[in-house]
Amino acid sequence: MAFLTSDPLETHNSWKAWAPALALGLLAVFGMSAAAQASAPSREYQVKAVFLFNFAQFVDWPPAVFTEESAPLAICVLGDDPFGSYLDDIVRGEQVNSRRLTVQRFRTPEEIKGCQVLFVSRSESRHLEKTLASAREMDALTVSDAEDFASRGGMIQLTMEYGKIRLKINVDAAKASSLTISSKLLRSAEIVSSRD
């Protein structure tokens, strides 16, 4: 019977199918032109920028911090800006509780005003006390990736652990500014307190 004498090997002809696909692949490779890409911050700061955007959604501010009903929610960067235009791209067109998001940049602690989220660049860790004092006046959520930020009275510290970003949150510092941090965020964070 024919079906018993058949050689399974004669059906192994599927390699023929490779030729047209390879040709297609090569065509695709050579047929396409380069597209330039704008210079972007490092992957680390891209992700940190998205964290800032997330913080704006997971924190409740006392209503008094906004001058009016439709006032935007400001994410501020103090000191050397590691995000570049990427942070602006992240918040563009986004709203939190019907508030537009804006990005502002300041060089010195004295200049900062109207911030709801304040990212303190590592370059500013020397005058941290002064910075935190100004932030407290406007009940801003303070965020930094500077060493010991949370234990020195900052609210959210971004740390690195084996290539991944981790959060340290000083809940007492947030409470002092009447900020409520969502349990969703707290659940993912290590809770720390100020070091006296």
Partner 1 sequence: MTVLGQYVSTGARTGKNAPRIESSVITRSSRPLVAACVALSCLLGTSRGSAQSTDTIPSSSELKRLSVEQLMEINVTSVSKQPEKLSEAASAIQVITNDEIRRSGATSIPEALRLAPNLEVAQVGAHTWAITARGFNSTTANKLLVLVDGRTVYTPLFSGTFWDIQDVLLEDVDRIEVISGPGGSVWGANAVNGVINIITKSAKDTQGAYAEAGGGSTPNGFGAARYGGAMGAGASFRVYGQYFDRGNEAYTNGDDATDAWRMGQGGLRFDAQPSSRDALMVKGDAYGGNEGGNLQSVSVGRSTSGGGSVTTRWTRTISETSAATLQLYYDHTQLSTPEPANQGAPSGRLKDRLDTYDLDFQHGFALGNRHRIVWGLGYRFTHDVVDNSPTLGFFPEHLDRSLVSGFAQDEISLLQTLVLTLGTKVEHNDYTGFEVEPTVRLRWSFAPAQMLWGSFSRAVRTPSRVERDVAEPTQPPIVVAGNSDFESEILVAYELGYRINVTSRFSGSIAAFYNSYDDIRSVSFTPVSIIPLFFENNMAGETHGIELSATWQATSWWRLRAGMDVLKERLHVIPGKMDLEKALNETSDPERQFSLQSSFDLPHHLELDVDPRSVDKLYINIGNGVLGTVPSYTELDVRLGWNPAGPFGLSIVGQNLLHDHHAEFGAAGPAREEMQRGVYGKVTWRF
Number of alpha helices (DSSP H) and beta strands (DSSP E) in the chain: 7, 10
Phi, psi of 143 (to 5 degrees): -135, 140
Encoded amino acid at 94, one letter: E
HEC profile for 15-39?
HHHHHHHHHHHHHHHHHCCCCCCCC
Does residue 53 touch partner 1 according to CB under 8 A? yes
Q: What are phi and psi of 33, to 5 degrees?
A: -105, 160
| Residue 36 within binding range of partner 1, rule CB under 8 A | yes
Q: Which C-beta is closer to partner 1: that of 41 or that of 114?
A: 41
Within the chain, residue ranges assigned H as helices are 2-5, 18-31, 43-58, 86-91, 128-137, 171-176, 183-187
- Minimum CB separation of residue 27 from partner 1 in Å reads 10
Report the residue number, 94 or 111, with the smaller CB distance to partner 1. 94
Residues 86-115 that bind partner 1 (CB under 8 A): 86, 89-90, 93-94
Query: Cβ of residue 83: shortest distance to partner 1, in angstroms?
Result: 11
Which residues sit at the interface with partner 1, rule CB under 8 A? 1-4, 6, 8, 11-15, 17-18, 21-22, 24-25, 28-29, 32, 34-37, 40, 42-44, 46-47, 49-51, 53-54, 58, 86, 89-90, 93-94, 160-167, 182-185, 188
